[in-house]
Structures are given as structure tokens and as C-alpha cells.
């Protein structure tokens, strides 16, 4: 990363400052609160804690939090327009006590999140960067598997969904060749999952006729 963590936090918080006081579901991630203590964020910290990276318009994360009040959810997205969209949805309702979102990218997660924090990490339709010369921008790579593994509790799960076949196969092979995870399905991947809350992106892609690839791995 070409900027330091304090510079990074200052940069990502600049545009979001005005929102911190008007919505209780958004967290300002600054130097004083890192590594984040989720016991201070959620009232009932005996609950399972799940983490979504890149929630997009936040529709499915909000639905998940409402459907499963017995689970705490933390979601991040690095783009300010996604945060605004999420907040416009959240501002229309009372505080959702088991949901916290933050404007954050994946760059410094290893420093912002304590080891063994999450029961599950979810990535729905991460940008596939389809051109070969852009593959280096993909979030999921060998180094990021180590970050994911560290953030997960013992036996925790990582879930990935995508419409992009080549990226999905790359991710499958990355995890299957890693000593940090094992495949949690009895098959390599699934194209359908019962009772799944679809994301906005997923709905659009299905409508366009794309096959969806769902992967699930467990921390070893």
C-alpha cells in the first residue's frame, strides 16, 4: 500500500464524517478504535459474528441481519457511493442492533481486525477484473488467504459467490491448494443454494442468464 495506515484512515473518513452522527449503524474506523473491539460495538457479544467484504448496496446484508437477529453482522465497502446507498436504506428504519457497517477496503484488515474475530467471512461477487493485465487487482490472492485465515475463529467459514467462471475457478484452486483451508462442501462448488438471500448483483446476473458459483471453505 502506498500510504500509511493513519493516512489511509484519514482519507477514507474524510467523505464519511458527516454521516457518523446521523446514523447509528455506521462506525468510524479511526486510530483510536483499532484493532476493533466488537464487544464494545454489539450489546450481545455472545452471538456469532459474521463479516461481509464489499456489501455493495447493502440490501442482502440488511436482509440477513433482519432475518437472523441472533447473529451480529459487520460489513465493509470501500466505495463512498455504496456507503451512501446503504445509509439511505438504513436511515428509513430504526437502528438494526445486530448490524454495523464501515467504509473500509481490505488493504489494512490485518491491522484493523484482531485475529480469531469472525465466525464467517462472506464475499459476494467481488470485482473479477476480467482482463488478464488487471488480474493483479483481484482481492483474493495467496497473501489475502492468510489475512482471511487470521481473522477467522477456529473452524470458521469463508464463503464466496460469483458469476465469473474463470475467477471462481482461480479462487477454488487457490483455496484447495492452501494448507489453511479445506473445502466445506462435499463437492467442489454449488450453483444453487437453498434459502439463499440473493444480492442485487446476483439477481441482475441471474436475469442475464449467468450461472452462479458458490464456494465455501473452513479454516483448518
What stretches of the chain adopt beta strand conformation (E)?
A: 48-53, 71-77, 99-103, 118-124, 152-162, 181-183, 213-219
Q: What angle do CA 127, 115, 187 make, to 5 degrees?
A: 55
Of 10, 11, 67, 79, the one binding ligand SAM by CB under 6 A? 79
Query: Least CB distance from residue 160 to ligand SAM, whole Å?
Result: 11
Binding flag, residue 201, ligand SAM (CB under 6 A):
yes
Least Å distance between CB 173 and ligand SAM?
Answer: 21
The secondary structure of 92-108 as a DSSP string is TS---TTEEEEE--STT
Identify whether the C-beta of residue 164 lies closer than 8 Å to the C-beta of residue 128.
yes
The distance of closest approach from Cβ of residue 108 to ligand SAM in the complex, given in angstroms and rounded to an integer, is 11
Q: Which is nearer to ligand SAM, 114 or 200 (CB)?
A: 200
Of 12-20, 52-60, 67-75, 164-172, which part binds ligand SAM (CB under 6 A)?
52-60
Residue closer to ligand SAM (CB basis): 96 or 141: 141
CA 116 to chain CA centroid, nearest Å: 16
Rounded CA-CA distance 188/176 in Å is: 9
> Could you say which residues in the range 2-41 bind ligand SAM, by CB under 6 A?
none
Instruction: Give residues in contact with ligand SAM (CB under 6 A).
Output: 53-56, 76-79, 82, 105-106, 124-127, 139, 199-202
Amino acid at each position: 500500500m502506498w500510504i500509511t495506515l493513519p493516512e489511509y484512515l484519514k482519507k477514507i473518513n474524510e467523505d464519511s464524517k458527516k454521516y457518523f452522527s446521523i446514523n447509528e449503524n455506521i462506525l468510524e474506523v479511526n486510530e483510536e478504535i483499532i484493532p476493533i473491539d466488537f464487544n464494545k460495538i454489539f450489546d450481545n457479544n455472545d452471538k456469532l459474528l459474521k463479516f461481509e467484504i464489499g456489501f455493495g448496496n447493502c440490501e442482502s446484508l440488511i436482509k440477513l441481519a433482519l432475518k437472523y437477529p441472533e447473529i451480529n453482522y459487520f460489513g465493509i465497502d470501500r466505495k463512498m457511493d455504496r456507503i451512501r446507498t446503504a445509509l439511505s436504506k438504513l436511515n428509513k428504519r430504526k437502528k438494526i442492533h445486530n448490524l454495523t457497517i464501515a467504509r473500509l477496503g481490505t488493504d489494512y484488515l490485518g491491522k484493523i481486525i484482531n485475529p480469531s474475530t469472525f465466525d464467517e467471512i462472506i464475499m459476494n461477487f467481488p470485482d473479477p477484473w476480467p482482463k488478464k493485465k488487471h488480474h493483479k487487482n483481484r482481492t483474493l490472492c495467496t497473501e489475502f488467504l492468510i489475512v482471511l485465515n487470521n481473522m477467522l475463529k477456529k473452524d470458521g467459514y469463508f464463503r464466496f459467490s460469483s458469476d465469473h467462471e474463470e475467477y471462481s475457478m482461480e479462487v477454488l484452486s487457490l483455496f484447495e491448494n492452501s494448507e489453511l483451508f479445506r473445502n466445506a462442501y462435499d463437492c467442489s462448488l454449488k450453483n444453487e443454494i437453498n434459502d439463499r438471500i440473493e444480492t442485487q448483483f446476483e439477481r441482475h446476473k441471474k436475469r442475464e442468464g449467468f450461472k452462479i458459483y458458490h464456494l465455501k471453505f473452513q479454516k483448518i
